C-alpha cells in the first residue's frame, strides 16, 4: 500500500462494496526464527541455521465506528472481507492486466448483491482479465451473462466431470429477451443436476 493513489482507489473500491473500512495499514515487526537443529538423546547431530531475526508484515484494517474508529488484524477479518480484499488488489493492480484468474465458489461468504456486482466488474469492458468462476448460486445465471459465458459441470456414471454450455442447447426460448436460465435449469432443461435420494438419506437415520 505504498502508492497513495492506488491505496485511495483500493479504499474507494472497498467502500463501494459496503465494507466499513476507512484505512489499511501494513506494520513491520521483527520475530526470532530459531535455527533448525537435529539431535538424538540430547546430542547435537546437525545445525542448519543459526537463530536469526526476520521481518514479518502485519496488515491492519481501520473500521469506522459510532465514536471514532478501531483497528482489526487482517487474520481476524471475516472470510468474505479477506476474499474481497484479495480480489480488489488483483482487479485494480495494473500489473495483473490480461491474465486468467480461476476462483472456485467465488461468491462464497458474499451476499448475492455483492456477487452480482462482482459479475458486473468481471464482465465490464474496462476489465482486461479473464475470470473463470464456479458457483452453486443459481440466481447468478440470470444476471447479465451471455449464453457462451454459462457452463454446466455434470458427472457421468464414472464420476468424470463433463462440461456443457447453454450455447450448445437447441432451444427456441434462448432467443427471448426475458429468458430465465435458472427457471429452465430447475426444469431439467440443461442437465447437470445432482440426483439426491431423499428417502434413502432419511432411512439411514433410522438404522
Q: Please give the Cα distance from 50 to 33 (Å, whole number).
A: 9
Q: Which domain holds residue 20?
A: 1-94
Beta bridge partners of 57: 28
Q: Assess if residue 201 is contained within a domain.
A: no
Q: Assess if residue 195 is contained within a domain.
A: no
Q: Assess if residue 171 is contained within a domain.
A: no
Q: Assess if residue 137 is contained within a domain.
A: no
Residues 6+ apart with CB under 8 A from 64: 20, 22
Q: What is the predicted pLDDT for the residue at 128?
A: 85
Q: What is the predicted pLDDT for the residue at 40?
A: 64
Q: Please give the Cα distance from 109 to 152 (Å, whole number).
A: 22
pLDDT in tens, 37-51: 666 665 655 556 667
Alpha-carbon distances of 46 from 32, 33, 37, 41, rounded to whole Å: 20, 17, 6, 13
Q: Please give the chain's pLDDT, 207 residues, in tens.
A: 557 799 999 999 999 999 999 999 999 999 887 766 666 665 655 556 667 788 999 999 999 988 889 999 999 999 999 999 999 998 888 776 788 999 999 999 999 999 999 999 999 988 888 999 999 999 999 998 888 899 998 888 888 888 988 887 766 555 555 568 888 888 888 888 777 888 988 889 887
Total number of domains constituting the chain = 1
Q: What is the pTM of this model?
A: 0.77
C-alpha cell, 129: 482479465
Q: Assess if residue 25 is contained within a domain.
A: yes
What distance lies between CA 158 and its chain's CA centroid? 29
Amino acid at each position: 500500500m505504498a502508492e497513495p493513489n492506488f491505496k485511495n482507489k483500493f479504499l474507494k473500491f472497498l467502500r463501494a462494496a459496503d465494507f466499513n473500512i476507512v484505512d489499511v495499514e501494513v506494520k513491520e515487526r521483527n520475530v526470532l526464527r530459531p535455527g533448525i537443529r537435529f539431535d538424538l538423546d540430547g546430542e547435537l547431530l546437525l545445525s542448519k541455521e543459526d537463530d536469526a531475526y526476520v521481518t514479518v508484515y502485519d496488515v491492519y484494517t481501520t473500521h469506522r465506528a459510532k465514536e471514532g474508529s478501531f483497528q482489526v488484524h487482517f487474520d481476524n477479518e471475516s472470510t468474505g472481507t479477506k476474499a474481497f480484499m484479495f480480489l480488489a488488489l488483483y482487479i485494480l493492480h495494473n500489473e495483473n492486466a490480461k491474465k486468467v484468474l480461476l476462483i472456485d465458489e467465488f461468491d462464497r461468504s458474499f451476499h448475492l448483491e455483492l456477487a452480482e456486482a462482482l459479475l458486473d466488474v468481471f464482465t465490464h469492458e474496462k476489465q482486461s482479465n479473464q475470470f473463470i468462476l464456479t458457483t452453486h448460486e443459481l440466481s447468478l445465471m440470470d444476471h447479465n451473462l451471455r449464453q457462451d459465458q454459462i457452463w454446466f459441470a455434470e458427472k457421468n456414471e464414472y464420476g468424470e466431470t463433463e462440461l456443457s454450455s447453454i450455447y450448445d442447447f437447441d432451444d427456441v426460448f434462448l432467443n427471448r429477451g426475458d429468458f430465465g436460465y435458472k427457471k429452465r435449469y430447475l426444469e431439467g432443461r440443461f442437465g447437470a443436476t445432482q440426483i439426491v435420494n431423499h428417502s434413502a438419506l432419511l432411512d439411514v437415520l433410522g438404522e
